[in-house]
Amino acid sequence: MSDIVRRDPRKEWIARNRLHPQHLEVLAELGQGAASEWMGPAGLIRRNPHAVGFMGPNGLKRIDRSGVQQGAGGGGAAKSAAQSKPLVEIESPAFLVAVVPDMAGGRLTGHDRDLLGLARQLADADPAARGAVLAVVFGEHKEDDFEGAGVDRLLHLTGAEVDGFAPEARLGALVAMDRAWMPRHWLLPDSKLGGADLGRRLAARLGERPATGVWQLEADDEAAMGWRCTARGAAGTVDFQRAMPRLVLALAECAEPVSETRHAAEPLALPEVLPSQLSRIQDLGQVAVDPAGVALSEAEFILSAGNGVRDWDGFHHAAEVLGATEGASRVAVDDGFMARDRQVGATGTWVTARVYVAVGISGAIQHLQGIQTCDKVVAINMDPGCDMIKRADLAVIGDSAKVLEALVALVEQSREEKRNAA
Amino acid sequence: MRPESHHNGSLAVTVLVSVGRHPLTGRGRRADQDARAVELARSLTSAEVELLHAGRLDEGSEAALRGYLGMGFDSLSLLEQPVGADVLPAVAESLEAAGPQLVIAGERAEQGEGSGLLPYLLAERLGWPLVSGLAAVEDVTEGVATLLQALPRGQRRRLQVRLPAIVTVDAAAPAPRQSAYGPARRGRLEVQAAAVMDDADLAQWQAQPARKRPKRLKIVKAASARDRFKAAAAKAEGGGGQVLTDVAPEEGAAAIFKLLKEEGVLR
């Protein structure tokens, strides 16, 4: 087709004249049906102020200036934003930065993401010779965003020998990795979830003196590795300024997590098969603890009740069967159904549960603040329009007593099956 | 604990103790975690518990060390070490000579570097297994100890480890008993000479009182003013959660059950 623009002055005139009977047809034909702005024939931007906005519920024209209206579809916006982050690929890295995330509950924790952010700082410091961030993950995981967290290479080790509490087998794998690839930096989280233990074992085995409790890092040409770090010592009362060693155990919030780029997260495999070694520590599995004895602020799984709960015996029974710690909203506490120390929210306890089940809670802003850091929120509620449903990852609209009853029956049935199978 | 579990002789236990520092006054005291370690050792039946400290004996540390003696001990072995020395060789040699079955220590010291590395280095040097973060020792039978390890979020894990072993305790272990004044005065501090190795690295570092860590700012990366305003003012909107309306209670329960299974919170 030719590039010459053919103008139809009559149609342009109709398009300008809103009162013309053919106005809408011509607009659609010219491709300006919904557009409020187009390139004119002379290369100027033409605007049609009448095409902006929409009719509000009371018959008045409303203009939404957020840009949502002009975007093609509102729904896919968040997903396309994730896709549109630039992909950074490092084909032949100058060096490796090895990170061993905790992966509590099979996902990257906030601490892990901070650590990966720190690893990116180290890897990207010299644009001429960029390093690659290598993450080592033990056991099965549920994480699907290694790319967004800043992982270039991913070593995923599975098998019965590295599952559960297996520090010796994991240490063996890390030592084999160290021999195979010689990472320039080792970063581990200094956390109770296992990183602190594994990192110290690795330090003792490699004979490296690690920096523990690191919370700040800055470039320094005089140091051997080119970096200085600030580390907490003496039960958190002293800061040590020191040259950064090869192995670093870092605290949470040591760096900003990666947010603006995507990375390859290319799977890697160890070049050699791990030697099977006799473990001197045998894991007999987790012990059932009384969920009522666990502090609400650190409980992993909370079943929380609100104003919508009528059958309190059924609720307590469900909490017992599920093995969940009980929580409550302010209303349930004020009405005397639950103890004050069970209250969740800004005026009660700020909880950090991985799974939070809200039964009959509409979700006052104070309550939602209290559950900010929960990973998965499940809501059971009668009202489909309440704020808790908006926050929840899974919401069931219905009578809470009946849903809980059915849930208890399911759990008991599955336990029965497991017992029969065993 | 069952008393018959130790009928094949008593269990030799050594507790590594250090001089703590009160977080408010800065005075010397029993280190909290080490005192818990002593308490754990005291709770073992038919165990011969010995206390071992490596460091300098002066006025401040003597009061703190006598605090451990007040938990029911006649004596404490003290390996003489100057300030800023690496105590690893001295402690390792002493343990090799004494040959205990179980070594209990606190997780981290309250003074000095406080990196919590000493138990790991000892385990590596002696070739013993190490278990960290203990809540209780349940049983010791025929050279195998059954331990209860404290996990975050109040969870517990049961482990079996072959002795000799090194274990560390943290704040999840039982609270220490009060130190009695009389036994603390009567107890002996047995000072022994030991090899001294200087910690050259530590001397090079600059130490200063910990300053408050900067609070992380909430960075909003938004293109438009409306997004920035929303991030600052609006409450959380629906994150694309799944909503089940008009379903039978059984269906809803099945969906919840599936999620709980996936998250692994059902036991």
Residues A156-195 have pLDDT tens digits of 988 888 888 888 889 999 999 999 999 999 999 999 888 8
Structure tokens at B223: 């293109």
Average pLDDT estimate for B124-129:
93
Verify that A118 and A31 share a domain, yes or no.
no
A48 Cβ neighbours under 8 A, 6+ residues apart: A32, A35, A36, A37
Average pLDDT estimate for B218-240:
69
Of the candidates B186, B188, B189, B149, the one whose C-alpha atom is nearest the C-alpha of residue B170 is B149
Q: Reply yes or no on whether the pLDDT at B28 is more than 60.
A: yes
Partners of residue A238 in chain B, C-beta under 8 Å: 114, 207-210
Residue A282 lies in a domain: no
Task: Out of A37-46, A68-77, A404-413, B256-265, pick the least confident.
Answer: A68-77
Residue A76, classified by CB atoms within 10 Å of its CB into exposed (0-12), middle (13-18) or buried (19+), is exposed
Is B157 in Cβ contact with A287 (below 8 Å)? yes
| Domains contained in chain A, number | 3
Domain B9-204 has CATH 3.90.1150.10: no
- B224–chain A Cβ distance below 8 A for any pair: yes
Confidence of residue A76 (pLDDT cuts 50, 70, 90): very low
Average pLDDT estimate for B110-128:
91
Q: Exposure string (b/e) for A260-291, b if CB count within 10 Å is 16 or more? A: eebbbbbebeeeeebeeeebbbebeeeeeeeb
Task: Out of A112-126, A241-255, A405-419, B192-206, pick the least confident.
Answer: B192-206
- CATH code of the domain in which A358 resides: 3.40.50.1220
Mean predicted lDDT score pLDDT of chain A: 85
Residues of chain A above pLDDT 90, percent? 37
Verify that A330 and A386 share a domain, yes or no.
yes
Give the count of alpha carbons within 13 A of A271, CB side only: 8
Stated pTM of the model: 0.78
- CATH code of the domain in which A115 resides: 3.40.50.620
Q: B16 has which bridge partners? A: B52, B105
Verify that A124 and A29 share a domain, yes or no.
no
Verify that A321 and A213 share a domain, yes or no.
no
Match 């704040």 to its residue by tokens: B171
Is B240 in Cβ contact with A287 (below 8 Å)? no
Are B162 and B144 in contact by the 8 Å Cβ rule? The answer is yes
User: Could you give the C-alpha distances from A349 to A340, A367, A390, B152, in angstroms and in order?
Assistant: 10, 9, 21, 18
Structure tokens at A292: 């009522």
- Please report the pLDDT score of residue B239 as a whole number: 59
Verify that A42 and A144 share a domain, yes or no.
no
Residue B213, classified by CB atoms within 10 Å of its CB into exposed (0-12), middle (13-18) or buried (19+), is middle
- Please report the pLDDT score of residue A19 as a whole number: 86
- Please report the pLDDT score of residue A332 as a whole number: 92
Residue A86 lies in a domain: no
Cα gap B219→A274, rounded to integer Å: 43
Q: Reply yes or no on whether the pLDDT at B79 is more than 70.
A: yes
- Measured over the CA atoms of residue A66, residue A72, residue A78 and residue A80, the dihedral's sign is negative
By C-alpha distance, the chain A residue nearest B206 is A241
Residue A70 lies in a domain: no
Confidence of residue B234 (pLDDT cuts 50, 70, 90): low
Verify that A251 and A326 share a domain, yes or no.
no
Q: Reply yes or no on whether the pLDDT at A1 is more than 90.
A: no
Confidence of residue B183 (pLDDT cuts 50, 70, 90): very high
Q: Reply yes or no on whether the pLDDT at B257 is more than 50.
A: yes
Task: Out of A62-71, B13-22, B28-37, B122-131, pick the least confident.
Answer: A62-71
Residues 155-174 of B with CB under 8 A from A: 155-162, 165
Q: Note the pLDDT tens digit of each residue in A214-273.
A: 999 998 888 888 899 999 988 888 999 999 999 999 998 888 899 888 998 899 888 877
Verify that A321 and A230 share a domain, yes or no.
no
Helix, coil or strand: residue A177: helix
Verify that A111 and A169 share a domain, yes or no.
yes
Confidence of residue B147 (pLDDT cuts 50, 70, 90): very high
**What single letter denotes the amino acid at residue B128?**
W
By C-alpha distance, the chain B residue nearest A244 is B205
Residues 383-422 of A with CB under 8 A from B: 384, 387, 389-399, 402-407, 409-411, 414
Average pLDDT estimate for A50-57:
73
Verify that A245 and A311 share a domain, yes or no.
no
- Please report the pLDDT score of residue A193 as a whole number: 87
Is B206 in Cβ contact with A242 (below 8 Å)? yes
Is A233 in Cβ contact with B112 (below 8 Å)? yes
- B127–chain A Cβ distance below 8 A for any pair: no
Are B38 and B15 in contact by the 8 Å Cβ rule? The answer is yes
Residue A274 lies in a domain: no
Domain boundaries along the sequence of chain B:
9-204
Cα gap B102→B161, rounded to integer Å: 11
Q: Note the pLDDT tens digit of each residue in A108-141.
A: 988 999 999 999 999 998 888 899 999 999 988 8
Average pLDDT estimate for A195-207:
93
Are A258 and A149 in contact by the 8 Å Cβ rule? The answer is yes
Supply the ipTM of this predicted assembly. 0.87
Residue A281 lies in a domain: no
Are A384 and A397 in contact by the 8 Å Cβ rule? The answer is yes
- Please report the pLDDT score of residue A17 as a whole number: 83
Cα gap A328→A74, rounded to integer Å: 36
Cα gap B120→B257, rounded to integer Å: 42
**What single letter denotes the amino acid at residue B76?**
L
Confidence of residue B240 (pLDDT cuts 50, 70, 90): low
Residue A223 lies in a domain: yes
Partners of residue B244 in chain A, C-beta under 8 Å: 394-397
- Please report the pLDDT score of residue A231 as a whole number: 92
Range(s) of the domain holding residue A19:
6-56
A259 versus B39: which is more confidently predicted? B39
Is A235 in Cβ contact with B114 (below 8 Å)? yes
Helix, coil or strand: residue B213: coil
